[in-house]
Structure formats: C-alpha cells, structure tokens
Structure 1
Amino acid sequence: MSTAFLLVCALCLDAALGEPDWLWSRVKHPAVMIGNVIGALDKRLNHGAQRRLKGVGVVVLLVVGALGIGWGLSLLGSVVQIIACAILLAQKSLVAHVRAVADGLRVSLPEGRAQVAMIVSRDTRDMTQAQVARSAIESAAENLSDGVIAPAFWFLIGGLPGLLVYKAVNTADSMIGYRTDKYRDFGWAAARLDDLLNLIPARLTCMMIVALSGQWARWSEMVADAHRHISPNAGWPEAAMARALNVALAGPRSYDGQLRDLAWVNGDAPRDIGASEVFRACDMLWRVWGLALGLVSVWVGFSFIL
C-alpha cells in the first residue's frame, strides 16, 4: 500500500476514535513516553558546561532513536503503520479541547478559564472572556499545524520514521525549547530543528485556511503579521485563522506573572469575542481536515491511475 493511502486511513481512524480514555488510562501514550525520555535527559545533562553541545547530543539521540523505532514498526505491516500514524495525529482531540473552552465560556467565565488552562501555558487566572477565546483560537490554529498537518506531511515524506522524528523533535521543543536561562543553550538544537521541520507545514496550513475562507486578497497582511510573530511558524496559521474568523488574535498576555506586550494579529478586527468565535474555529479545524483528506485522497487516486 502507498504511504498516501495509509495516511488516508490514519486520518479517518483518528477522526473517528481520537484518543480514547479507556486505552490511555491503561497504557502510556507514545508522546508521554517520548516526554519521559526527554525529561530524564534534561535532568541528567542540563547542568554544568557545554550545555548547547549536550542539547545537540540529545536531539541526535532522539532522531536516531525515532528513525530506528519507526523503521522497526514499519516492518510489521500496513495495519501497524495506520494505527501508529493515527495515534500520533491529534485532530479529534484538538477539536475536543478547543470546543471544551467554548462550552466552558457558555457556562461561566471561571469555567472557560479552567478549560483554556489545559491547552495554553500563559497565565489564565485573571483572563477576560475575550482573552480566553483568543487563547483557544490561537491554540487551535497553532496545534492544527503542529498536531495534524505537520505529522501528516512528515508521514507522507518519510513514512513512520519521518513522523516519529517529527513528534520527538516537536515534543522536545515543547519541553526544553524555551529562551530561558535554563534552556537557552540546552534546548537550542531542539528549538531550531523544530522550526525547520515546521517551516513548510505551517505555511501549508495557512494556505489551506486561506483557500477555505477565500482571503487571498489579504495575503500580504498575513505575511506581515506572521513576520511580526514571536514564532517563525505559528504566526502563519494564526494570521490566516484570524482573518477567516474576522477576529484579532495575540496581543499582550501574561506568563508566570510577567506581562508581555506582543504584537496583535489582524489587530483592526474585533477584539471583544467569545464562545461563538471559538465554535467557528472548531468548524474551521474540521474543514481543513476535510481538505487535507481530500488532497491526499486525490494523490492516492492519481497514484493508482499512473
């Protein structure tokens, strides 16, 4: 079977089942196992001299290990590859987490804050309704790229080994890829490689949202917003999602009690938003998933013809 056909099956399996609690309450999710390895290496190596070199070594170890495990699993056949790929996609779980924020906001502001705290790292205790909604939509846009389009892209490019390399590096970036005194050197390699691996998927996600929302005339504005973003990649899907929903995203927010005056994305659009805009973002997540499934299915069709 072609890799594209396996991806179609995996996309559908993830959309149907997501991450069932009955399974992951009994066994560790692969992302958790990767995180445990990274955490152990962080504790053992992130001190003393030559932290950047040690961090490079960690990334090399993760990449080599992911390639080996991915190659080994690939030898077990198509069914194993489909299941493994579906496990490492996050479409249904992403929509569920974002929708929970909208549902929470409809109950009360504190419930909305509690739900959004599960998917963002910024301070949530004193968030307004609009800040909760913006945080959820930003997380939806960024994780659509990181958790769905990028894994699918790297599975298409490199099969299960390529997908596992991406997930290992992306997990490492989320754990040690920070510009803090503790991780500036040790997490440098993880952050830079993650930026590289997300370079194409982030822009591809942006273009898919633009294609579905018909916002091509505002492409230059999105490029400008993306270049002002603190992340070289996250700004692309955020800029597209902001215009698809006609909302302002990003802007000032607090981390660990420190207010950061970050640039607005689509700053002239309405900023006073709430649950309804978050629900619309969830709809866009499914529309992009549908477009991705359709594109890969066309690829499968052409491969049969040719």
Structure 2
Amino acid sequence: MSCVGVLALALLLDALFGEPDWLWKRLPHPAVLMGRAIGWLERGFNEGDGRFMAGAIGVTVLSALAGLIGWIIPHLPFGGLWEILMVAVLLAQKSLAQHVQAVADALRQSTDEGRQAVAMIVGRDTDGMEDDAIARSAIESAAENFSDGVIAPAFWFLVAGLPGMMVYKMINTADSMIGYRNKRYEQFGKFAARVDDVMNWVPARLTAVIMLGASRRWDAWRLIRRDAPLHRSPNAGWPEAAMAATLNVALSGPRAYDGEMREFPWVNGEGARNIGAKEVDQAVDMLWSAWLVGLGVLILCAIVT
C-alpha cells in the first residue's frame, strides 16, 4: 500500500479510537518510551563542558535508533498492518481534540475547573487565569499541537515513510523536554531545538493553509502573514495566527511563566478578547474541519495516483 493510503487509514483509526486507556495502561506508549530515552540522556550527559556536543550527539543517536525501528516495522511479518497501527499511534488528533474540549466543558462548570483542565495541556502559570486567558491558552494549544502532533508527523511520513515520522517524533519529543532557553538546557538542548525548528518549518505553514481551506477564509492570509512573525517561535506563530484569524479572536498577549509575567504581543489583536467556552468549542470544530480537509486531500491523491 502507498504511503498516502497508509496515512489515510491511520488518520481514520486515530479519529475512531484515539489513545485507549486500556491499552496504554498495559503497554508503554511509543512517545513515552521516547521521553524516557531523552530523560536518560539528559540525566547522564547534561553536565560539565561540551554540553552542546553531548546533546547533539545523543539526540542524533536516539533519532537514528528511532528511524531504524521505523524501518524495521514494515519489514516484520504482517508489516503493512503494523505500519498502519504505528502511524495511527503516533498521530494525536483525537486525543488533542478531547483535551481541548475538556477545557471548554470545565469552563462551563467553573473558572477553577477550567484552570485545572487547561493546566493539563499548557506549560504556563494557570493559578490566576480568568476565563478569557484560559480560553486563549486552550485555543493556542489546539493550534500549535495540531501542527506538531498531526500535520508535521503526517508530513514526514509522506516524505520519508515511517522512519521519517519516527525521527520527527524523537526530535519533537526532545525539543519539548530539553529545548528550553534556561541555564539547565540552553546548551544541551540547543541542537534538538534547532532541528525541530527546521523539521517544522514546512508543516507549520502547511497547517495555516489547511486551516484557511477548512474555514474558506482565504482573505485571512494577509493577517496570518502579518502576525505569524510576532510569535517567539519561527513556526508556532503560523498555526496560531491562522486559528486567531479564522475564529476572529485575539491570541497570545501577556502571560506568566514561573511566577514572572511576560509581555508577548497580541496575535490578531483586533479580534475578540472577551472569550470563553464557546470559542474553545469553535477551535475544536476547526481541528476536525482541518483534519477532514487533510484527509480529503489524501484520499483524492490516492485515487489519482
């Protein structure tokens, strides 16, 4: 089966079943195993001089091992089936939509419950958040994780098969764990962060185009091009600006990390700022609309080819 066909089936499997608790309570999720490997690497080698080189070599070796596993799986008995299942496992559409929807549902109960729900999906301080900040955080997480967790792994699967997808997931996991600009990770995680930026360059912009296609608001491209560069990340600003423009909400802006308030610029600053559960619902709808557009393109390509 072609890569396009495998990916289409995997997207459908993920949308239907997501990440079943009964399975991952008995077996370690591949992303969890990747996280454990990165944690072991960091604990053992993030010390002394030469931290950048240690991090670069370590992440390269782990990525090569991930790619090797990705090459082996399709060559196993019933390899085509295992490949479809692995691709489905490495996509995160349904689980992302569920986590974001949980924030909207919690917000309808109380602000405190909304804070608890959004704390599950963002790394910023949530204790003092009001409803509008909770909603913004959930929508931003929806946009960025749709790019990182769905479009980017799908893109790299189409480019380089399961090995490419596995390498991307290892790099992205490393970036999420050690790619921070602080005293502990600045040098050790710099390589992972830079490679992650490179690997997400095309998928981030592709995500913005897919969202435009899903909303049919092609006029919003001007706003996206204007606001995407405002983001501190060279890539995350594109899906975030696309979500902000298509929903007509203002995202980003001031927020707190580790007790320190940081003044980030607004994305689509002219959009609505007094937002809540309804706008989070709309973001979830956008996730599924964009997913459907992507799936439709894949099916069309499979038919044509």
Report the TM-score, using the length of structure 2 for normalisation: 0.98
Amino acid paired to 2:265: A
Distance 2:285 2:219 in 1: 22
The residue correspondences of 1:113-124 to structure 2 (distance < 5 A) are 113-124=115-126
Structure 1 gap ranges (5+): none
Alignment of 1:243-282 (within 5 A): 243-282=245-284
Structure 1 residue 224 displacement after superposition = 2.0
CA distance in structure 2 between the partners assigned to 1:58 and 1:129 by the alignment: 42
Give 2:293's match in structure 1, choosing from 291, 294, 301: 291
Residue 67 of structure 2 is matched in structure 1 by 67
**1:85-164 alignment, distance < 5 Å:** 85-164=87-166
Residue type at the aligned position of 1:191: A
Out of 192, 196, 199, the position equivalent to 1:197 is 199
Distance 1:78 1:143 in 2: 27
Q: Following the alignment from structure 1 to structure 2, what is the Cα–Cα distance between the partners of residues 55 and 301?
A: 44
The gaps in structure 2 that reach 5 residues or longer are none
How far apart are residue 222 of structure 1 and its match? 1.1
Q: For the residues of structure 1 that align with 2:203 and 2:220, how far apart are their CA atoms?
A: 20
Residue matched to 1:20: 20
Residue 8 (1) aligns with residue 8 (2): yes
Residue identity in the other structure for 1:293: L
Structure 1 residue 26: Cα displacement: 1.1
- Distance in 1, Cα, partners of 2:47 & 2:184: 9
Structure 1 residue 219 displacement after superposition: 1.8
Match of 1:221 among 220, 223, 240: 223
The number of equivalent residue pairs is: 303
- Tell me which residue corresponds to 1:176: 178
The CA RMSD measured in Å over matched residues stands at: 0.8
| Aligned-partner residue type, residue 21 of structure 1 | D
State the 1:58 CA deviation: 1.4
2:211: which partner in 1? 209
Greater alpha carbon shift after TM alignment, 252-261 vs 219-228: 219-228
Separation (CA, whole Å) in 2 of partners of 1:224 and 1:291: 24
SS of 1:53's equivalent? helix
Task: Read off the aligned partner of 1:212 and give its amino acid letter.
Answer: A
Rounded Cα–Cα distance in structure 1 between residues aligned with 2:58 and 2:254: 34
Please name the residue that 2:84 is paired with: 82
Per mean C-alpha deviation after superposition, the further-off stretch among 188-197 and 56-65 is 56-65
1:210 to partner: Cα distance: 1.2
2:241 to 231, 239, 242: 239
Q: SS state of the match for residue 198, structure 1? A: helix
Following superposition, the deviation at residue 216 of structure 1 comes to 2.2
What is the aligned-residue identity percentage? Answer: 55
Q: Distance in 2 between matches of 1:133 and 1:111?
A: 12
User: Normalization by structure 1: what TM-score?
Assistant: 0.98
**AA aligned opposite 2:90:** L
Q: Post-superposition shift, 1:214?
A: 2.9
Quote the Cα distance in structure 1 between the aligned partners of 2:298 and 2:205: 17
